[in-house]
Amino acid sequence: MPAQTSLFLCLKDNFGVLLHDPQSGATAAIDAPEAAPIEAALAKTGWKLTDILVTHHHADHTQGIGPLKDHHHCRVVAPRHEAKRIAHVDETVGEGDTVRVGLLEGRVIDTPGHTAGHISYFFPADKVAFVGDTLFSIGCGRVIEGDPEMMWKSLLKLRALPDDTRFYCGHEYTDANIRFAKTVEPGNKALAARANEVAGLIAAHKFTIPATIGAEKAANPFFRADDAELAKSLGLAGSPAWKVFAEIRERKNRF
Ligand SMILES: [Zn+2]
C-alpha cells in the first residue's frame, strides 16, 4: 500500500511532515520543529506517532522531540555524526543504512554541507524523499558547517534520484528563492513556469511543495551549476561546477 503524508507549517516557516504506513499503522514525523502542530496533525489524521526521523541538529528541527517522545514513546532516529548534539536519540544512521517506518523502507543518504552530518531519507517504493535543509524548491540550504564543494556533492546525490521523486524540504522558502533564481537565469523558461505555478499555489493558500527532482533540475539554479551556459553567464566558463555553485550561493547570501 502506498505511503501517505501530511504536510503542515511549524514555527514561522518550517514544514512539519508526517509519513504514514497504512498497512502497519506506523507514522514518522520527519524532524520535530514544534510539538503542538505535530500533535494537531496526528489528531486530525488519527495516526499514532511511532518514529521521528531527524535530518540535522538545528533547534528548529529538533526542539519538539522531547515532548513528543514523552507523550508517544516513539523511536528517535538521527544522523550518526550529529547524535551527540541531539537529545533523546535511540538509533543513529548514516549513508546506505535502511530505516523502516512500519513496512516502509527508507534509505539514508549523507548530505553534509548545511551541517556537517546532515542526512536525507529516500523511500524508493514511494519515490518520496525528505531532504531537510539541504535542498529547497528553487533553492538550497546555507552552507554553514561544510564547504561549497561538499554541499554541491550532496546536491548531486539528491539530483541523481529518479526524476519523479517528490521531495519534502524543511522550509517554505520557494517564493523568495524564485525571486533570486530569476536574477541568475532570467531566460529560464522552466523557472518562469514554476514561478507561475507557485504564484497560483500561494494565491490559493496552498503549500509549494512537494516538488519533484526532475522539475528542480530544469529550474533550480543550485542544481544547474554544471550547466555550461549558466557558468558562462556568471563569468565562470570552464570553472569546476562546485565553484559555480559557490558563486551562486554567495550571491544568494547577499541577495
Ligand atoms: Zn538547518
154-185 pLDDT tens trace: 999 999 999 999 999 999 999 999 999 999 99
In terms of pTM, does the model score above 0.75?
Answer: yes
Instruction: Give the tens place of pLDDT for each residue, 118-145.
Output: 999 999 999 999 999 999 999 999 999 9
Burial call 136-152: b when 16+ CB within 10 Å, e when fewer:
bbbbbbebebbebbbbb
What percentage of residues in the chain have a pLDDT greater than 90?
Answer: 100
pLDDT given for residue 200 in this prediction: 98
Annotated active-site residue in 20, 72, 81, 114? 114
CA distance 172 to 200: 15
Edge-to-edge order in the sheet of strand 14-20 = 4-10, 14-20, 27-30, 51-53, 75-79, 91-93
Expressed in angstroms and rounded, the spacing between residue 229 Cα and the centre of ligand 1 is 31
Is-catalytic flag, 114? yes
Is 73 an active-site residue? no
Query: Taken in order 23, 104, 169, 94, is the CA torsion positive or negative?
Result: positive
Catalytic residue check, 133: yes
Query: Residue 87: helix, strand or coil by DSSP?
Result: coil
Residue 233: band (very low, low, confident or very high) from pLDDT cuts 50, 70, 90: very high
Once rounded to an integer, what is the mean pLDDT over residues 241-247? 98
- Cβ–Cβ under 8 Å, residues 244 and 221: no
Mean pLDDT of 14-18: 98
Q: What pLDDT score does 1 carry?
A: 87
Where does 134-238 have alpha helices with state H? Answer: 148-159, 174-184, 189-203, 213-219, 228-233
Does residue 126 have an active-site annotation?
no
Average pLDDT along the chain? 98
The SS3 call for residue 51 is strand
**Cβ–Cβ < 8 Å for 121, 43:** no
Q: Is the pLDDT of residue 12 over 90?
A: yes
| Cβ proximity of 131 and 17 under 8 Å | no
